[in-house]
């Protein structure tokens, strides 16, 4: 009998294909092999084995690639991800294998390092190379770029005896982290929490801990203890963080604790950096990775711990391509590989709190900030009572608070999660609102750039002088506030204050962001007006007041998690205040001071909020008590999208415990010219919703420009 192997290719295919195994080729699951597909020779992964059916002609595998195979638990994880999220197996493999070059050892090149002898003729540019060309050893081009000179200068320095050449890998290994460096002196509570987490690692088995600590309680310092324990046991560690929290300052904390900068992984990195991290991780040599969600699909062979920092953060959900939630998949990966996961947050998701309450997760609590730092007092400002002046957005209580703290030489933060100057541009003469040309979205006025912009698609045009409909000149007016407008108002009210804006428009790249953070940290800004970019992980010792301009912003719309998200965001924003020895406070402007999320915030009573929210979810059968899936249909013609949605609905398999809501027009009914409809499927907790949706989906074929997208446990309701 002839052996066959199933080969999975990293392309959009639902399953692995059968191939004949040539005699003498010894294969194992996870091996990389070359095999013909169509007219091409492609690299795939051995997924499983079988025996040839008589009479069936199979193409043959050509060869095995000499490289480390994917581990069995990695294969299981790929399989699980595809099944659970209704994704194609090949597309999930493609998330894992990003660069074939990473499968080969690093290329060897000529590298240089200072000889220690002072060279003949030390010109200023040669001196610059010696001073700024490192870290050594370096390629001539790297050293030249860092020193701001031409490669010729570096070569000249070699001839002059200042540098010596050696051979080395173009992608060097990462320095080994040292688990036993002394960390910060921990408080008693932190020490106990760290010890509990380390004990979970020592079990050597799957377990999940929810590290639930108030903002500024030192969660990072505490999970460092678990990381140290996993490193001591020779394991690799992965720390997932929201992409915008992946800053140089954040990485520096790891470097200080473990004596070596960790490998980092994010969407902006170049091919060479990606190849280096992937290879070093796959070989088991790189021990510490700090990365955004996609780092979860790196092929760690010896993973011993995953930390999901800010586990409640919505950016863990990937919304395009393979749709998955990295927080949930991290738990799956740990389960399949048999190791620990730590979910850390000051505002855990209700799902995680529920799991902690019912004993599935260990619940590790840090109730206070170390030292003299205390949590900020939070107050509500009822906008019905404290009406801002006409055309203004800051009420008197906010203005008074800013006045007090700035007079003391402290800092204020005004939070509004709206970029630009005004979210709506309207014609005073005919009432026309400026809309994106191919999308259901209002254009946002940006004064700094003088443009009108669509925040969904990035479309923009110069701000028109006249109304595009009735052509009246100078009739367009701005409605509502964005951060630019609030900053303008703050500057008018406090002419001597240094007011700055922090949003993706003013700090779009890491260098700009770091510079603004530095200025804020060093007290060079008095009033910072910021979008959600200010929410994450920064410590500003002189920031003592936070004003939330619009506390109701997240509460509108049909998202069942609206209350939860508002609560989480506002706790995090308020938590920016009073990080050091000066106590802080926060004021939230609202039209709904009776909303339970806001009442709980003001009362500092999280338990009350969780109780109300969980009871509501239970009554409605929503997560974590029931399951939810969304189906989105889209295509270029509205009538055909409607017809597709109806056809899909009619094909729903009969099953108990399933309720279908819709189809209806999505809140964003048109996006980049595509019409969108959606429906929701609500299921009882006992239903295997992924399987149900896969069966349903397999019944309908779509024309090429029409798509059906399934989103298990949706986070976005747009």
Rounded to 10°, the helix 89-96/72-85 angle is 130
Complex with ligand ADP: residue 190 or 207, whichever CB lies closer? 190
Question: CA 119 from chain center: how many Å?
Answer: 48
Q: Cβ 369 to ligand ADP, closest distance in Å?
A: 7
Q: Cβ 368 to ligand ADP, closest distance in Å?
A: 11
Structure tokens at 305: 């711990």
Q: Which of 237, 240, 297, 292 is nearest to 268 (CA)?
A: 292
Binding residues vs ligand ADP (CB under 6 A): 184-187, 190, 213, 215-221, 370-371, 539
Residue 290 · residue 246 · CB < 8 Å:
yes
Complex with ligand ADP: residue 19 or 540, whichever CB lies closer? 540
Q: How far, in Å, CA of 540 to CA of 578, rounded?
A: 8
Q: Cβ 517 to ligand ADP, closest distance in Å?
A: 13
Complex with ligand ADP: residue 18 or 368, whichever CB lies closer? 368
Complex with ligand ADP: residue 190 or 294, whichever CB lies closer? 190
Coil, strand or helix: which one is 636?
coil
Q: Which residue is nearest to ligand ADP (CB)?
A: 218
Q: Cβ 316 to ligand ADP, closest distance in Å?
A: 17
Complex with ligand ADP: residue 250 or 714, whichever CB lies closer? 250
End-to-end CA distance of the chain: 55
**DSSP state for residue 466 in the 8-state scheme:** B
Rounded to 10°, the helix 596-603/606-620 angle is 160
Complex with ligand ADP: residue 187 or 207, whichever CB lies closer? 187
Q: Cβ 579 to ligand ADP, closest distance in Å?
A: 6
Complex with ligand ADP: residue 156 or 537, whichever CB lies closer? 537
H or E segment to which residue 571 belongs: helix 562-574
Residue 584 · residue 413 · CB < 8 Å:
no
Structure tokens at 525: 């800004």
Q: Cβ 454 to ligand ADP, closest distance in Å?
A: 35
Q: Which of 651, 637, 702, 654 is nearest to 679 (CA)?
A: 651
Q: Cβ 354 to ligand ADP, closest distance in Å?
A: 22
Q: How far, in Å, CA of 300 to CA of 289, rounded?
A: 10
Half-sphere exposure of 592 (CA within 13 A, CB side): 15
Q: Cβ 113 to ligand ADP, closest distance in Å?
A: 35
Complex with ligand ADP: residue 418 or 542, whichever CB lies closer? 542
Complex with ligand ADP: residue 419 or 538, whichever CB lies closer? 538
Q: Cβ 539 to ligand ADP, closest distance in Å?
A: 5
CA angle 50, 52, 53 (to 5 degrees): 120
Complex with ligand ADP: residue 20 or 344, whichever CB lies closer? 344
Complex with ligand ADP: residue 217 or 325, whichever CB lies closer? 217
Q: Cβ 247 to ligand ADP, closest distance in Å?
A: 12
Q: Cβ 87 to ligand ADP, closest distance in Å?
A: 32
DSSP letter for each residue of 417-458: ---SSBSEEEETTT--B-B-SSSS-BPEEETTTTEEE-TTT-
Complex with ligand ADP: residue 102 or 237, whichever CB lies closer? 237
Q: How far, in Å, CA of 10 to CA of 78, rounded?
A: 11
Give backbone dihedrals phi and psi of 74, rounded to 5 degrees, phi first: -70, -40
Question: CA 628 from chain center: how many Å?
Answer: 22
Q: How far, in Å, CA of 321 to CA of 323, rounded?
A: 6
DSSP collapsed to 3 states, 186-251? CCHHHHHHHHHHHHHHHCCCCEEEEEEECCCCCHHHHHHHHHHHHHHCCCEEEEECCHHHCCHHHH
H or E segment to which residue 147 belongs: helix 140-147
Q: Which of 293, 716, 319, 380 is nearest to 570 (CA)?
A: 380
Q: Cβ 220 to ligand ADP, closest distance in Å?
A: 3
Q: Cβ 253 to ligand ADP, closest distance in Å?
A: 7
Q: Which of 139, 133, 89 is nearest to 111 (CA)?
A: 139
């Amino acid at each position: 009998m002839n052996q066959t192997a199933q080969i999975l290719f990293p392309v959009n295919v639902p399953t692995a294909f059968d191939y004949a195994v040539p005699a003498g080729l010894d294969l194992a699951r996870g091996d990389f092999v070359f095999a013909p597909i169509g007219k091409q020779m492609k690299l795939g992964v051995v997924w499983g084995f079988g025996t040839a059916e008589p009479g069936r002609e199979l193409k043959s595998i050509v060869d095995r690639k000499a490289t480390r195979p994917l581990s069995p638990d990695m294969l299981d994880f790929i399989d699980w991800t595809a099944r659970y999220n209704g994704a194609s197996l090949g597309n999930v493999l493609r998330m894992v294998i990003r660069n074939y070059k990473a499968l080969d050892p690093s290329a060897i090149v000529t590298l240089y390092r200072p000889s220690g002898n002072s060279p003949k003729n030390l010109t200023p540019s040669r001196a610059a190379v010696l001073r700024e060309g490192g870290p050594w050893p370096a390629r001539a081009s790297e050293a030249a770029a860092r020193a701001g000179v031409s490669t010729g200068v570096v070569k000249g320095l070699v001839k002059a005896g200042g540098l010596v050449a050696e051979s080395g890998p173009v992608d060097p290994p990462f320095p080994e982290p040292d688990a036993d460096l002394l960390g910060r002196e921990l408080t008693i509570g932190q020490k106990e929490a760290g010890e509990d987490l380390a004990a979970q690692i020592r079990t050597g088995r799957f377990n999940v801990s929810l590290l639930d600590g108030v903002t500024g309680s030192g969660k990072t310092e505490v999970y460092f203890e678990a990381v140290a324990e996993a490193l001591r046991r020779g394991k690799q560690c992965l720390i997932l963080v929201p992409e915008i929290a992946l800053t140089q300052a954040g990485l520096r904390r790891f470097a200080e604790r473990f004596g070596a900068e960790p490998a980092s992984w994010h969407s902006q990195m170049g091919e060479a950096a990606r190849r280096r991290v992937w290879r070093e991780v796959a070989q088991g040599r790189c021990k510490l990775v700090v990365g955004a969600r996609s780092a979860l699909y790196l092929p760690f062979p010896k993973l011993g711990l995953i930390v999901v920092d800010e586990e409640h953060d919505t950016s863990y959900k990937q919304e395009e391509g393979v749709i998955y939630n990295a927080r949930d998949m991290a738990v799956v990966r740990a389960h399949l590989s048999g190791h620990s996961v730590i979910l850390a947050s000051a505002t855990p998701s209700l799902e995680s709190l529920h799991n902690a309450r019912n004993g599935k997760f260990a619940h590790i609590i840090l109730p206070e900030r170390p030292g003299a730092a205390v949590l900020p007092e939070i107050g509500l400002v009822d906008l019905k009572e404290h009406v801002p002046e006409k055309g203004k957005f800051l009420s008197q209580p906010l203005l008074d608070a800013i006045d007090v703290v700035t007079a003391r030489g402290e800092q204020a933060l005004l939070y509004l999660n709206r970029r630009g100057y005004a979210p709506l541009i309207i014609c005073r003469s005919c009432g026309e609102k400026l809309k994106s040309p191919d999308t259901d979205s209002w254009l946002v006025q940006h004064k700094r750039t003088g443009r009108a912009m669509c925040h969904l698609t990035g479309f923009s045009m110069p701000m028109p002088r006249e109304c595009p409909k009735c052509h009246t000149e100078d009739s367009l007016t701005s409605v509502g506030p964005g951060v630019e407008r609030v900053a303008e108002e703050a500057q008018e009210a406090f002419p001597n204050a240094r007011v700055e804006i922090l949003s993706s428009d003013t700090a779009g790249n890491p260098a700009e962001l770091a510079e603004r953070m530095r200025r804020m940290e060093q007290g060079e800004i008095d009033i910072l007006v910021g979008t959600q970019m200010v929410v994450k992980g920064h410590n500003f010792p002189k920031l003592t007041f936070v004003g939330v301009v619009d506390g109701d912003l997240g509460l509108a719309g049909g998202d069942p998690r609206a209350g939860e998200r508002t609560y989480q965001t506002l706790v995090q924003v308020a938590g920016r205040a009073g990080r050091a020895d000066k106590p802080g406070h926060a004021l939230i402007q609202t039209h709904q001071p009776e909303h339970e999320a806001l009442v709980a915030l003001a009362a500092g009573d999280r338990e009350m909020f969780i109780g109300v929210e969980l009871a509501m979810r239970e009554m409605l059968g929503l997560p974590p008590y029931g399951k939810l899936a969304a189906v989105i249909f889209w295509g270029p013609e509205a009538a055909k999208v409607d017809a597709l949605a109806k056809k899909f609905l009619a094909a729903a398999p009969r099953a108990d415990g399933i309720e279908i809501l819709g189809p209806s027009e999505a809140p964003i009914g048109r996006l980049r010219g595509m019409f969108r409809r959606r429906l929701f499927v609500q299921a009882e907790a006992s239903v295997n919703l992924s399987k149900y949706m896969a069966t349903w989906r397999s019944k309908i074929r779509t024309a090429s420009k029409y798509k059906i997208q399934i989103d298990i446990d949706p986070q976005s309701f747009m």
